[in-house]
Amino acid sequence: MTDMTKGSAPSRRRQRFPEISTRAWEHPADRSGLVALRKLTGFDDVLKKLAGLVSERSVRLMFLATAVKASERQFPELYDMVRDAAYILDLEKVPDLYVSQDPKVNAYCIGMETPVIVVTTGLVELMDEEELRAVIGHEVGHAMSGHAVYRTMLLILTNLAARIAWIPLGNLAVMAMITALKEWFRKAELSSDRAGLLAGQDLQASMRSLMKLAGGASLAEMNVDAFLEQAEEYDKAGDLRDSVLKLLQVLPQSHPFAVVRVAKLKKWAESEEYRSIMAGAYPRRGDDPEATVSSQWKAAAESYSQSVKDSKDPLMGLLRDLGNGVGTVGGKLRDTFTGAGRGNGSSNGASKDGGDSQD
């Protein structure tokens, strides 16, 4: 890692956030878990020992041997970007950045004690300067939040699941934990998208970078506003069967889908929370010990509740009905999955209901 005290900080016109706490950008569901882990005395030491199973030192040596380490002489623009992101988010030790020869578009942060950021040549070739700045800021956010804890836990549990697959109940319990960790990590990705926005301070670039992950390099053929409309179409889903399919599709994923990430990031960029951070009113690291686990879990619960209220997804609508004590929920489920009510009488109602959700 590079010491930011050596040499001058990158000269950028973006706003800097001295002493900013990672709580400022962490999604409530991500933050609640992180605060709980940080309260556990000795937990970091245990995870660092378990991380030895991943051979962090070996991975670092492998990148030194097979990838290109960014510096003033190699990929200097990328080197400046990671220094810039660290400067803006007030991270004293700048993570080393490696460029790996790989046509797949990818970037990731590994390591717990000394995080390392890796970007592939496929990603470097796909993104423009401001998009790369958002991506690198995203990875710096991972490093600052300590999200490598999740990766380590996931890897250990995945290996364990493979070894005890022959024990039905034991494997079921481990798979339940893996599913929960993946949900946690999906929220960690939303957190780091926010960190990338704070580092780059260019919402359009942040959204373009996510759109390119879905559609490739032909930016002239794509449109951010149309992609946001696509996200709204995905949220509406169609009917309850589509909602169930979406749920089944997302459960195995470690990352949220691109349209979801774009919509969530835009919503956060328009929030009072983001405006307060940009105005200098944000949580400081010195106040981190005062963050209680109970308050963070409450914030997480409120976040999920608000997501249900705001969503146009039919399944979320059903959950709202359940919460409001609506007595026709059973009828709705029956009609949806049996096809009852379709074709009874006029077709106008059916085409109207179906048209909005499928166009």
pLDDT at 341 over 80: no
Helix (H) or strand (E) holding 117: strand 116-120
- The per-residue pLDDT for 161 is 64
Helix (H) or strand (E) holding 2: strand 2-3
**Which of the four pLDDT bands, split at 50, 70 and 90, describes residue 61?**
confident
- The per-residue pLDDT for 355 is 40
Q: Let me know: does 285 contact 18? Beta carbons within 8 Å.
A: no
Helix (H) or strand (E) holding 119: strand 116-120
pLDDT digits (tens, 9 = 90+) for 236-264: 877 778 888 888 888 888 889 999 999 99
Distance CA 93, CA 245 (A): 43
Higher pLDDT, 11 or 269: 269
Helix (H) or strand (E) holding 93: strand 93-94
Burial class (CB in 10 A: 0-12, 13-18, 19+), 167: exposed
Distance CA 191, CA 178 (A): 20
**Residue whose entry in the numeric block shows the structure tokens 């990352």:** 255
Strand duo 96-100 + 107-110: pairing: unpaired
pLDDT at 350 over 70: no
- The CA radius of gyration of the chain, in Å to the nearest whole number, is 22
pLDDT digits (tens, 9 = 90+) for 141-191: 999 988 876 666 666 666 666 666 666 655 666 677 777 777 888 889 999
Report percent pLDDT > 90 for the chain.
44
pLDDT at 4 over 60: no
Residue 340's CB: how many other CB atoms inside 10 A? 11
168-200 vs 129-145: helix crossing angle, rounded to 10:
130
- The per-residue pLDDT for 221 is 92
Within the chain, residue ranges assigned H as helices are 28-39, 43-50, 56-66, 76-88, 121-126, 129-145, 148-163, 168-200, 203-215, 224-236, 240-250, 258-269, 272-278, 293-310, 314-323, 329-338, 348-358
Q: Average pLDDT over the chain, rounded to whole?
A: 79
Higher pLDDT, 21 or 34: 21
pLDDT digits (tens, 9 = 90+) for 305-334: 777 677 777 766 766 666 665 444 445 444
Report percent pLDDT > 70 for the chain.
69
Of the candidates 221, 222, 206, 12, the one whose C-alpha atom is nearest the C-alpha of residue 127 is 206
Q: Distances from the Cα of 87 to the Cαs of 13, 196, 209, 303, 346, in angstroms?
A: 12, 13, 22, 30, 64
First to last CA, the chain: 50
Active site residues: 139
